Amino acid sequence: MEEFVKVAVTTDLPPGEIMLVEVEDERVVLANVDGQYYAVTDECTHTGCPLSNGELDGAVLECPCHGSEFDVRTGAVVSPPANEPLAQYAVKIEGNDILVGPSD
Ligand code: FES
C-alpha cells in the first residue's frame, strides 16, 4: 500500500493483544505492545502460516505452526525455524484511529 489507511480504532486492540486486518488485499497483524502499535505481515516467513493465529508475549509473536518467534517492533526473528524477518508496516495514530501505511 502506498498511503495510510484506517484499519481500526485504538479501543479495538488493548495492550498485549493482536488482531488481523486486511488492507488492499494484504493481510496485516496489528499488535499493541504496552500502548505502542506495530504492524507486520500475517505471513510467517518459514512456510507461510498465519501469524494472526499465534500468541503475543510482550513484543514477541509466536507462529502457531512450528514455533518461530518474531519481534513485532522490528520484524526480526527471535527464534527459528524461520530465518527471514517479517515485513513491517508503518503505523500512525490519529486521535483514536489506527492507520497502517507503506511496508519497509
Ligand atoms: S510457518 Fe511459522 S514457524 Fe513454520
93 CA to centre of ligand 1 in angstroms? 30
Number of structural domains the chain divides into:
1
81 CA to centre of ligand 1 in angstroms? 7
DSSP state of 4: -
Alpha-carbon distance 98 to 13, whole Å? 10
pLDDT value at residue 102: 85
Residue 50 burial class via C-beta count within 10 angstroms: exposed 0-12, middle 13-18, buried 19 and up: middle
Query: What CATH number is associated with residue 9?
Result: 2.102.10.10
CB of 79 shorter than 6 A to ligand 1: no
Alpha-carbon distance 86 to 44, whole Å? 7
Ligand 1 pocket: which of 60, 68, 77, 83 to mutate (most atoms within 8 A of CB): 68
Alpha-carbon distance 30 to 39, whole Å? 5
CB of 29 shorter than 6 A to ligand 1: no
Note the pTM of the prediction, 2 decimals.
0.94
Question: Mind listing the pLDDT tens digit for each residue in 30-56?
Answer: 999 999 999 999 999 999 999 999 999
Domain region containing 89: 5-103
- H-run or E-run covering 91: strand 88-94
pLDDT value at residue 13: 97
Average pLDDT of adjacent 10-residue blocks, the chain of 104 residues: 91 97 94 98 98 98 98 98 97 97 83
**Nearest CA to 19 among 4, 3, 35, 37?**
37
pLDDT value at residue 54: 98
